[in-house]
Structures are given as structure tokens and as C-alpha cells.
């Protein structure tokens, strides 16, 4: 990849997304950041602007208008998008209900953020990646996408869908120079995890700053040999 890489990171106002942005800024990447919380996102952009060129646009990745505006503004500002980190996730109601009680409205919201938005954003940035003959798409997943945990059905099924979508996308992009990774960062002490398990002590778990350096290593990680498919990385804490 070029030394002037540009990364678009969703859910980048806090947690893992913010720490990935910090790592990328320290390694010279230009940043396109988005999150629903405008004040927190602006704070992140102000912090990172001392290290690199930052475009921050608050909004909901489940909103098609926001997605198009985000990518369009990024391409207008930087001329390219080399890296897409689909980090934004929707847990659903907290405490999480069993599937029997999960409303269609809540499930559609979960799927919109966790499954539809990552594909839609990939579709928007792929022309830029193809034009430069390289690119990196990272979809952040969870072990809830492969293990059946009671009450995690809405979130887990969205991540299972994201993982298979990633495998198909990678197969379709074979030979394009665009690499696709699915990353399960493992259990972390984050605001979303605390919402998933209210009242549970998570202080023994790694914090996102421990996990984020792995996303730097992905920048130059080669595609797997043989049949081209998304690589699933688990527990990537350094």
C-alpha cells in the first residue's frame, strides 16, 4: 500500500475504534472518522489532528444518506480510501432479551448497523480501492457470531452474517489487490460489553488500547495463500 494511506473507521469516538484511530494516526495514516456522538467524535478529531489530517463526520452508519455523504466527503478531501474498518456495532436492548422477546424493530436495527452498513460502506469505497490496485477491509466480529449464547441471538446472528458476507466478498475480490479480514478482538472491557452484561465486573479483561496495535499489523498482512478468503483472526491482543 501507498505511504499516503487513508483509513475510514466507523464507531471511532470511543473504545476500540478510537484506539485504532490513535494507532493509525501515529503511523501516518490520514483518517475519516464517524460515530453517532458528535461531541465525543469532535473531541477525538481534535486530539488526532495534532498527528495527522482528520475528517470527522458524525452520523449513523445505518443511514444511507450519511454513508454516502461520509465516503463522498472523504474522497473529496483525500482523493482515495485505502482502509475500511467496520467497527461500529449495535448491541440492541440492554439487558439483552431472549430471541422469543426480541422485537422485529430492534432486530432490524441490529442488522442495519452490524450487517447492512458494512457491506454498503464496502461498496462505496471499493471503486477507490480497485482504482489503486490495493485496499484493506476489516470487519470487526465476535465469538457470539460462532457460539450460541443465550440472549445474544440478535447481535450474534448479525455477526455470523457479517462473517459469511466477508468470506463471499473476499472470494469475489480475488485478484483485485483488496484484502478482507474478519477480526474477533476477544472480550474487552468496553462500554458496549458493560451494557451487554450490566453489573458484571469486567476489570480483568483487556482494554481496547491493548488490542488496537493488531490492526496496524493488518495494514501489511499478506492475503492468505491458496484459495482467497477472509481471514478470521481471534483474540488479537498483543
Average pLDDT, stretch 179-195?
73
In a domain, 165, yes or no: yes
Confidence of residue 4 (pLDDT cuts 50, 70, 90): confident
Whether cis (ω within 30° of 0) applies to the bond prior to 128 is no
Catalytic, out of 24, 78, 152, 155 = 155
* Cα 160 to Cα 156: distance, rounded to the nearest angstrom: 6
CATH code for the domain in which residue 204 is found: 3.40.50.720
- pLDDT score, position 6: 98
How deeply is 131 buried, as exposed, middle or buried, from its count of CB atoms within 10 A (0-12, 13-18, 19+)? exposed
- pLDDT score, position 181: 93
Average pLDDT, stretch 16-40?
97
155 tagged catalytic = yes
In a domain, 118, yes or no: yes
Average pLDDT, stretch 88-109?
96
In a domain, 1, yes or no: no
Confidence of residue 237 (pLDDT cuts 50, 70, 90): very low
Tell me the whole-structure pTM to 2 decimals.
Answer: 0.90
Q: Has residue 226 got a pLDDT over 60?
A: no
Average pLDDT, stretch 199-219?
78
b/e sequence 173-212, b meaning 16+ C-beta within 10 Å: beeeebbbbbbbbbbbbbebbeebeeeeeeeeebbbbbbb
DSSP state, residue 97: P
E-state strands within the chain? 6-10, 30-34, 54-56, 83-86, 135-140, 178-184, 231-234
Domain with 170, as residue range(s), is 6-234
How many structural domains compose the chain?
Answer: 1
Amino acid at each position: 500500500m501507498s505511504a499516503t494511506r487513508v483509513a475510514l473507521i466507523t464507531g471511532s469516538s470511543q473504545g476500540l475504534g478510537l484506539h485504532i484511530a490513535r494507532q493509525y494516526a501515529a503511523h501516518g495514516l490520514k483518517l475519516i472518522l464517524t460515530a453517532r456522538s458528535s461531541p465525543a467524535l469532535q473531541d477525538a478529531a481534535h486530539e488526532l489532528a495534532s498527528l495527522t489530517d482528520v475528517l470527522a463526520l458524525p452520523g449513523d452508519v445505518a443511514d444511507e444518506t450519511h454513508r454516502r455523504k461520509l465516503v463522498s466527503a472523504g474522497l473529496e478531501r483525500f482523493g482515495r480510501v485505502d482502509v475500511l474498518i467496520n467497527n461500529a456495532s449495535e448491541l440492541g436492548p440492554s439487558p439483552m432479551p431472549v430471541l422469543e422477546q426480541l422485537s422485529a424493530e430492534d432486530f432490524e436495527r441490529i442488522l442495519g448497523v452490524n450487517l447492512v452498513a458494512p457491506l454498503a460502506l464496502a461498496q462505496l469505497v471499493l471503486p477507490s480501492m480497485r482504482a489503486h490496485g490495493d485496499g484493506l477491509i476489516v470487519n470487526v466480529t465476535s465469538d457470539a457470531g460462532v457460539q450460541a449464547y443465550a440472549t445474544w441471538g440478535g447481535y450474534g446472528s448479525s455477526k455470523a452474517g457479517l462473517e459469511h458476507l466477508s468470506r463471499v466478498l473476499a472470494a469475489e475480490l480475488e485478484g483485485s489487490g483488496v484484502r478482507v479480514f474478519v477480526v474477533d478482538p476477544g472480550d474487552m472491557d468496553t462500554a458496549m460489553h458493560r451494557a451487554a452484561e450490566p453489573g458484571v465486573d469486567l476489570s480483568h479483561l483487556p482494554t481496547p488500547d491493548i488490542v488496537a496495535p493488531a490492526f496496524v499489523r493488518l495494514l501489511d498482512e499478506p492475503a492468505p495463500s491458496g484459495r482467497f478468503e477472509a481471514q478470521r483472526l481471534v483474540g488479537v491482543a498483543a
